[in-house]
Structures are given as structure tokens and as C-alpha cells.
């Protein structure tokens, strides 16, 4: 998720609201101590507010906050689970970002797990 966050939000200003459902506390520490400060340093004027949900609670919460006040960046499953939200117009197609930054090649090992036809 870090790569798309850095790419997608560089043109924005203000506060970026990010949600995550990782139960791995090492990931929380990485975000808090390294990734967010690095992003904010490289993007003056942009602050990141990270909200971390319990994994099971997130499955319910995402359905609610996407309808009401969606965050700027979310973490969600790929494939059919993502398609559910795409079909409702709750996620935007970011193919142009992937193509612009050649992420298909850079993240090729993840393609099978993140693609839906």
C-alpha cells in the first residue's frame, strides 16, 4: 500500500486520511515511525492521519465509511471483494496511475493476487 499512497497523493494538499486493517503491530510501527514521516518530509504541506481498525471490525466499518465520509486512502482485499465496491462506484479506477508509474512491472509478483477480470 505504501507505493500507491506516495504516488496518488503527491498532487494533493492538506491532510490525507488513511485507513488500514493490519493487525500486525510491526506494520503500525513502520507506518508511524518511517513511512508517514518520510512521505510528509517529501511532500511539504501534506499531513497523514492514519486510522487503524481491528481486522474484523474493518469489514463492517468500510461499508459504512465509504458511504458516509470515505478516507482518501484505504486498504482492502483485491479481486472479487474489491469488485463489490467498484461496482457500487465506491472505488475509482487507478489503472492510469499504475500505467504511468509502470507498477505492473514493479509489482508483478502481486498481480495474480490483485487482478480481477
pTM of the predicted model as reported, rounded to 2 decimal places: 0.66
The pLDDT assigned to 83 comes to 84
Q: What are phi and psi of 47, to 5 degrees?
A: -110, 145
Strand partners, 90: none
Q: Which domains does the chain have, with CATH numbers?
A: 2-114 (3.40.190.10)
Taking residue 111's Cβ as centre, other Cβ atoms within 10 Å add up to 12
pLDDT tens string, the chain, 117 residues long: the values are: 444 444 444 455 699 998 888 777 888 889 899 999 999 999 999 999 999 888 888 888 898 888 888 888 888 887 788 888 888 888 887 788 878 988 888 877 776 655 555
The pLDDT assigned to 24 comes to 78
10 contacts 100 by C-beta, under 8 angstroms: no
Amino acid at each position: 500500500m505504501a507505493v500507491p499512497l506516495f504516488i496518488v497523493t503527491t498532487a494533493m494538499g492538506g491532510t490525507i486520511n488513511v485507513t488500514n486493517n493490519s493487525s500486525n503491530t510491526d506494520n503500525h510501527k513502520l507506518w508511524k515511525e518511517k513511512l508517514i514521516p518520510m512521505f510528509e518530509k517529501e511532500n511539504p504541506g501534506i499531513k497523514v492521519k492514519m486510522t487503524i481498525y481491528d481486522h474484523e471490525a474493518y469489514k463492517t466499518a468500510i461499508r459504512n465509511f465509504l458511504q458516509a465520509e470515505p478516507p482518501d486512502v484505504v486498504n482492502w482485499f483485491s479481486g472479487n471483494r474489491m469488485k463489490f465496491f467498484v461496482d457500487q462506484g465506491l472505488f475509482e479506477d487507478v489503472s492510469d496511475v499504475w500505467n504511468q508509474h509502470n507498477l505492473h512491472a514493479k509489482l508483478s509478483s502481486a498481480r495474480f493476487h490483485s487482478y480481477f477480470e
